[in-house]
Amino acid sequence: MDKIDEEKKKKYKPSIMTLPELAKYIRVHKSTVYRMLKHKSIPAIKVGNQWRFKKDRIDSWLETNELKMSPDKEEERK
């Protein structure tokens, strides 16, 4: 593998993530992701017996859920 291919590989950002990649991306434990899947509160695709997550859908989901938190809830968290 030449130097250019190695640089491309380092810069590659997958548009579809696995469950461990998603957990790392949103900084939660894998069990938290499984819990969200159980409650159908996170956008996901099941491929065979494995879950996949589209990055653009996750980013939108994060934005939407951020907006749902009211100012009162923010104060409670502090």
SS (H, E, C) 2-14: CHHHHHHHHHCCC
Q: Which CATH class is domain 13-71?
A: alpha beta
- The rounded percent of the chain whose pLDDT value lies above 70 is 67
DSSP SS3 for 32 = helix
| Chain centroid to CA 46 | 14
Q: What is the mean pLDDT of the chain?
A: 83
Its pTM surpasses 0.75: no
CA distance 34 to 8: 32
pLDDT per position as a tens digit, 9-45: 666 666 999 999 999 999 999 999 999 999 999 999 9
